[in-house]
Amino acid sequence: MSQKIITAKVIISAWDKEPLFEGALVIEGEVIKDIGPQEKILKLYPEAQVFDFAQNGMVFPGLVNAHTHCSMTIFRGLADDLPLMSWLENYIFPVEKHLKPRWVYWGAKLAVAEMLRSGVTLFADMYIFEPEVIRVVEETGIRGLLGEGLFDFPSPGYGPLEKGLALTESLLRDFERHPRLKIMVCPHATYTCGPETLKKAKALAERFGARVHIHLSENRDEINMIEARYGKRPPEHLLDIGLLDENLLIAHGVELNKSEIDLLSRYQVKVAHCPESNLKLASGIAPVPAMLEAGITVALGTDGPASNNDLDLLGEMRTATLIQKGTHLEATVLPARQVLGLATELGAKALGFEQCGRLEPGYAADLAVLDLTKSHLTPLYDPFSLLVYSAKSGDIAAVMVGGDFLLYEGQIKSLDEDQTRGEVLAISQEIRDLLRQKG
């Protein structure tokens, strides 16, 4: 089996380990085989092909974007600074009614380029026409946990709900043994899916041991709506329907009280925290330190790029820690190391990719290399601080998924970025025309 060696100025093998300076990683096939000092590793594996970042590279585990609707790159900047409901009802929903598979495909392709350039190697995605996103994941080599968004009302993607469930089932079957791709069942939210839909989604997921992914407790309006409809708050509503368990991944979890945090912890529910989307849509700030304290697996997500407006996980890490410090009036809360943990090992665990998130023997060779030659990345005292507080998405020199370089020497393999940008620009003109016709 082919062996590769990556040498680096410094390697962060895991968020809870000390960084290794002048280190080297050995990759055999798709996994990490060894890690150690450069001199020793180069002697031990003389046949391996060497990729040299020894002067200016910092290697770290590939980042995990735990919640997005990545094809919404096509709506980036279409309408901003609006309340959630008028943004949705006047702009997003009217255009999504006319959504085309081709739009979702090119939107996802642009998104994968953007994510790779910010060091993302695994992402969770829920959208309409999700088979198009699946196609992009297959073509590009990135890892994904993907699912078609399910609603009580007809979807432009599949029509009536029953067809959405059938589509999800066939995807679960088709990709049961895929090395990089898993399917999840995605009832959109408790206000778009009634109890019957949620029960059907859960039953389907259970047959395949799959994740269920849902937006939950995102803002006060949602709490009020669910309380008015069912006489209880969203977590208790899901408990009564039977959805709470270790296979449930919720997005947001902003409006959670102490007893709800305990409830989610007891049932080992996973949470995808999306700080920038929560700030932009004025939803609030999730109680991340309290969730971590309670032992909840908290991951980090960007949410759709139309409510962020980017897919930059490095920026998301920085926002996640800064907003907690600012609201707790406590500088020690959610330190750089811990927030990297959310974006790597905890993210991978939340998505059910237990083999990812650390660079240790036996783990998947999913990693990114930071280019240390930049002015704003100089000098280097603490690798964790540098990564979380100073690094930006343009600083990533290389990205590897499953032992293959997807980004190397400035080029993304198996994805033509110029063509992709051109296609999305053309789509944005179609969207402009559509909105103009609506007047």
CB nearer to Zn ion: give 303 or 395.
Answer: 303
Residue 125 Cα to chain centre, angstroms = 7
Most distant pair of Cα atoms in the chain: their distance? 69
Query: Tokens representing 182?
Result: 């898993």
Of the ranges 107-115, 217-225, 228-236, 296-304, which one interacts with Zn ion (CB under 5 A)? 296-304
Closest approach, Cβ 124 to Zn ion, in A, equals: 10
Stretch near Zn ion under the rule CB under 5 A, chosen from 298-306, 342-350, 366-374, 403-411: 298-306
Q: How far is the CB of 219 from Zn ion (least distance, A)?
A: 12
Q: Which of 119, 80, 121, 125 is nearest to 104 (CA)?
A: 125
Find the part of the chain contacting Zn ion (CB under 5 A) among 23-31, 103-111, 303-311, 353-361.
303-311
Spacing of C-alpha 4 from chain mean position: 27
Phi-psi region of 328 (alpha: psi -120 to 50; beta: other; left: phi over 0): alpha
What number of CA atoms fall less than 13 Å from residue 286's CA on the CB side? 30
Please state the closest distance from residue 218 (CB atom) to Zn ion, in A: 8
Nearer to Zn ion, 88 or 239 (CB): 88
Q: Which is nearer to Zn ion, 255 or 303 (CB)?
A: 303
Residues 333-362, one symbol each (x = binds Zn ion by CB under 5 A, - = not), give: ------------------------------
Which of 36/284 has CB closer to Zn ion? 284
DSSP 310: -
Instruction: Spell out the residues 6+ positions from residue 187 whose beta carbon is closer than 8 angstroms to its own.
Output: 150, 193, 197, 198, 201, 212, 214
Helix (H, G, I), strand (E, B) or coil at 56: strand
Min separation Cβ 304 and Zn ion, Å:
6
**Residue 65, both tokens:** 């974007």
- Minimum distance from residue 75 beta carbon to Zn ion (Å): 13
C-alpha 132/C-alpha 71 separation (Å) is 9
Buried b (16+ CB within 10 A) or exposed e, 342-351: bbbbbbbbbb
177 phi and psi angles, rounded to 5 deg? -115, 20
Contact segment (CB under 5 A) with Zn ion among 57-65, 300-308, 371-379, 409-417 equals 300-308
Nearer to Zn ion, 72 or 348 (CB): 72
Check: CB of residue 75 under 8 Å from CB of residue 98.
Answer: no
Judged by beta carbon, residue 114 or residue 303, the one nearer Zn ion is 303
Mark 244-283 with x for binding to Zn ion (rule: CB under 5 A) and - for no binding.
----------------------------------------
> β-strand 143-150 against 186-187: which pairing, if any?
parallel
Is the sign of the CA dihedral 215, 220, 225, 231 positive or negative?
A: positive
- Candidates 435, 363, 434, 436; CA nearest to 401 is 363
Which residue lies nearer to Zn ion by CB, 38 or 71? 71
Angle between helices 130-140 and 101-117 (to 10 degrees): 40
Count of residues that bind Zn ion according to CB under 5 A: 1
Task: State the DSSP string of 76-92.
Answer: TTSS-SS-HHHHIIIII
CB under 5 A: which stretch of 99-107, 263-271, 295-303, 394-402 binds Zn ion? 295-303
Nearer to Zn ion, 61 or 147 (CB): 147
| Least Å from the CB of residue 29 to Zn ion | 35
Give the DSSP letter string of 270-305.
Answer: EEEE-HHHHHHTT-----HHHHHHTT--EEE----G
Among the listed residues 222, 255, 260, 303, the single contact to Zn ion using CB under 5 A? 303
If the CB atoms of residues 84 and 181 are measured against Zn ion, the closer one turns out to be: 84
**Nearer to Zn ion by C-beta: 260 or 303?**
303
Residue, CB closest to Zn ion: 303
The residue (of 288 and 359) whose beta carbon lies closer to Zn ion is 288
Taking residue 179's Cβ as centre, other Cβ atoms within 10 Å add up to 8
222 binds Zn ion (CB under 5 A): no
- Site residues (CB under 5 A) for Zn ion, limited to 28-87: none
HSE toward the beta carbon, residue 24, CA cutoff 13 A: 21
Binding site for Zn ion (CB under 5 A): 303
